[in-house]
Chains A and B, each alone.
Chain A
Amino acid sequence: MTTDRSTSSGPALLEVLDVSKSFGAVAAVQGVSFPLYAGEAHALVGENGAGKSTIVKMLAGVHRPDTGTLRADGENRTFHSPADAKAAGIAVIYQEPTLFPDLSVAENIAMGNAPLTRLRQIDRRSMRATAERLFARLGVRIDPDRPARGLSIADQQIVEIAKALSTKARVLIMDEPTAALSGVEVERLFSVVRSLRDEGAAIMFISHRFEEITALCQRVTIMRDGRHVATEKVEDLSVDDMIRRMVGRDLSALFPKQEVTAGDVVLTVEGLSREGVFRDISFEVRAGEIVALAGLVGSGRSEVMQAVFGVDPYDSGTVVFNGKRLKPRNPRAAMNAGLALVPEDRRQQGLVMDLSIARNVTLPRSGALARLGLLFGGTEKREAESWTRKLQTRFGRLSDAVGTLSGGNQQKVVLAKWLATGPKLLIVDEPTRGIDVGTKAEVHRLMSSLAADGMAVVMVSSELPEVLGMADRVLVLREGHLVAELSRAEATEESVMYAAMGQKVTA
């Protein structure tokens, strides 16, 4: 558990030098530089959308920098493909592990450099032995012959690490590996990573959890809006320092929450269960209040709200809205009753990227807008125009594909789409993920004023400051159970994290 290993100097294993990358008009990364040394674990932090994943993808050979260079072992390198990055000794472990579900664990590890017999056939015995040796070294027991399909996320990550070890990778990049892990699994992962670090590998570790960063890393690079802010020793920075530099301003100024007195109960959820996902969830939401659903990724927060809205099924329990029971698995009925859900994943769930802004805004309401069952361009356009103006959305033309907008403006289109239905309860899942700081504040102001006007708001969020800043009440989920209900006064960073992790934070 010690973190007092001194950072080794000497030549960097990998250097990022003045690298920039744009996607269309959006500059994801601009002029970022930092080195990775052997024997260090280096944290990369920043808000969502700060450009961390783009850095990872450039190091992995998925994207090529528009400008700037990557230097491995003192030599300039251009990675044309993931294979090039792999050959340079870089291994990447993504948030979502990238295994082949139909192949065996041993094959997954050996993919790309499988041992061969003299006839150039794959040497299954040696492949299996390698897997077993690697697992023994990592101190885990996974059957090398089982297919990768069905491994838990934690085990999949272990397999990914074994894969990295098998290629003799000396730079290990981990993109939020702990997001979906339980406390025990995180501990196991860390002990593996520490031993690799001590054997001379360079680790780049991306995480939102500061206690993990202080527990594991020696140095930290902070990014904001695609730019490099600082690279410092972890011990020289307090958590507050890091957050301040990530956000670029004081937290208190960010959340314009107005005080409101809650009205009548509008939503009552009782005993809601879905096998393997969440169990026995009960809570109420009143008009005019903002209720936050907190918890780790994978704790079942989004799934609960999706079940309430009817896009996901549930096995038992009831959802009552304004005194009427909502039909399960029927989002249309929920919509008609006055519910709206702004989903977590804007690209996959919130918007149809190829369709125009106007079509997206009016999609849930196209039935109501039709005259004699027919839609004419005019009505949709007018409706979309009025709502996008209300939310101050910036775009070229309403007929542009919504995919051409920036993240923040896309989020405004999703909000417009649902506010246009005139909801009495607005569910927002990660309302500010991946959008710029300015728009973030706008979204927060909007939520606050909607609540002030008597709308009930349920907010699912992974960002603690947002939860603490916006919510009148905080519900905390852990592993599918509702474990705490905290009032605005009771909710602190510690109390919420404690409830979410179910244990004292190890630091």
Chain B
Amino acid sequence: MSELRGRLASWDSAIIGVTVLVLIGASIGVENFGNSSNFTFLILDLLPIALIALPMTMIVITGEIDLSVASTLGLTSAIMGDLWNRGLTIETIMPLCVLAGALLGAVNGFLINRLGLPSLAVTIGTLALYRGLALVVLGDAAVADFPWTYTGWVTGTIGGAVPNVLIILVVLAVIAGVVLHATPFGRSLFAIGANDQAARFSGINVTRTKFWLYVVSGAVAGLAGVLWTLRYSSARADNGAGLELAVVAAVLLGGVSIFGGKGSLWGVLSGVLLLAALQNALRLQDVSGQALNIVTGVLLIASVLLPNIITGTRNALQKRRLRAAVPAQSS
């Protein structure tokens, strides 16, 4: 019973509630928000953020961070364009791009886990490095002539209602959710984030676990790069620039603790949906999407600040009650 109450009071369930309210409110109050072509746009817009947020959630739960994801996306997009220019078939290129993403993730994983460097600093470095390499690969050119079979599929829908890419997202999200919340591997991630020393003493190979998370993060960013390129039918070195912060914002907004050890995938997915829906609704209202940055920023800070204030007040009240009670006892 009170377990349920604890659940309801937690931030990730609050964010799920807010998201539902916003969706309902926007459907009623904003013209065109609820129609199916807008839904497809919404899904296409949130797709890269949602995809990358899946491994990012796990990484942040272990107490680390990966800021290089958007640059990985950009670099794989550039590689995709370059390979296409060289005449490789698209069916060869796509798996190669995912592989390239995995390799880039492995570089992060190696620097962070083998050499023990701080992940924040390392991935700020590789953020610049990978974006720079993307520029080296493709310069400021754009490659646009990808086959319609694929670009059309990415923007297409099943029966006009369900976007094709939603299938990819749902499948990967379900896998990520099960792995995080119902496998020994997922359990170990929470343990590592809450106390990596205790995790090590419990027989968990902390460095290896984290290493593979970065590899997966890179691979998913690579996949996101492929999908991004196909969606806009444009391979460019600056694709997805700045996306890393949107992903981190969504993850934190979804109730994952920046200190690690806490969070759920459902919270994160609703965080992604909330940000995308707000942006979409405001755009339909002709409000600049850029102004929405204020909302994003405030929500991000609030997601950490509010729980702090709540526990702080609770502790203070407890202390006061204790102080009031003790003298009565001792006299």
Contacts and interface: CB of A to CB of B under 8 A. Distances in A.
Interface in A322-356: 331-332, 334-335, 341, 343, 348-355
B188 A66 contact: no
Contacts of B205: 332
A125 interface: no
A225 to B, nearest CB: 16
A399 interface: yes
A67 B327 contact: yes
A375 interface: yes
Interface stretch (A41-49, A276-284, A358-366, A440-448): A358-366
Contacts of A352: 190-191, 194-195, 198-199, 261
Given A350-B198, A359-B187, A375-B184, A335 B203 contact: yes
A20 B183 CA distance: 45
Interface string B167-189: 00000000000100011101110
B149 to A, nearest CB: 36
Nearest to A377: B182
A397 interface: yes
A373 interface: yes
Given A348-B195, A355-B191, A366-B188, A376 B203 contact: no
Contacts of A335: 203
A22 interface: yes
Nearest to A418: B202
Contacts of A136: none
Contact of B323 (A67, A332, A349, A369): A67
Interface in A1-34: 18, 20, 22, 31
A349 B203 CA distance: 11
Interface of A is mostly: mixed
Given A332-B205, A399-B3, A367 B194 contact: no
Contacts of B330: 18, 20, 31, 67
A370 interface: yes
Interface string B185-219: 01110110011011111111100000000000000
A391 interface: no
A455 B281 CA distance: 66
B115 interface: no
Contacts of B310: none
Interface string A66-101: 110000000000000000000000000000000000
A343 B190 contact: no
Contacts, number: 85
Contacts of B194: 352-355
Contacts of B191: 352, 355, 359, 363
B326 A366 contact: no
Contacts of B203: 331-332, 334-335, 364
Nearest to A374: B182
By CB atoms of chain B within 10 A, which of A331, A355, A359, A369 has the most?
Answer: A355
A349 B198 contact: yes
B322 interface: yes
B322 A363 contact: no
B236 interface: no
A311 B182 contact: no
Contacts of A350: 198, 201
A19 to B, nearest CB: 11
Contacts of B327: 67
B232 to A, nearest CB: 38
Nearest to B178: A374
Given A332-B203, A352-B198, A353-B195, A373 B183 contact: yes
B131 interface: no
B210 to A, nearest CB: 16
A66 B326 contact: yes
Interface in B66-111: none
A311 B205 CA distance: 10
Contact of A370 (B3, B184, B198, B323): B184
Contacts of A22: 322, 326
B202 A67 contact: no
B262 interface: yes
A367 B184 contact: yes
Contacts of A369: 184
A48 B178 CA distance: 43
Contacts of A376: 182
B63 to A, nearest CB: 12
A399 B195 CA distance: 18
Contacts of B197: 348-349
Given A332-B203, A343-B201, A349-B197, A370 B326 contact: no
Given A354-B194, A355-B191, A311 B200 contact: yes
Interface string A300-334: 00000000000100000000000000000001101
A66 B322 contact: yes
Contact of A331 (B184, B186, B200, B322): B200
A373 B185 CA distance: 9
A310 to B, nearest CB: 9
A364 B202 contact: yes
B60 to A, nearest CB: 15
A67 B326 contact: yes
30 contacts: A20-B330, A31-B330, A67-B330, A311-B201, A331-B200, A332-B204, A332-B205, A334-B203, A341-B201, A348-B197, A349-B201, A350-B201, A352-B195, A353-B195, A354-B195, A354-B261, A355-B190, A359-B191, A363-B199, A363-B204, A364-B202, A364-B203, A366-B188, A370-B183, A373-B184, A374-B178, A374-B182, A374-B183, A375-B182, A375-B184
Given A363-B191, A363-B199, 6 more contacts: A66-B323, A334-B203, A349-B198, A352-B199, A363-B187, A363-B202
| Shortest beta-carbon contacts, A-B, top 3 | A366-B184, A332-B203, A354-B194
Interface of B: 3, 178, 182-184, 186-188, 190-191, 194-195, 197-205, 261-262, 322-323, 326-327, 330
Interface of A: 18, 20, 22, 31, 66-67, 311, 331-332, 334-335, 341, 343, 348-355, 359, 363-364, 366-367, 369-370, 373-376, 397, 399, 417
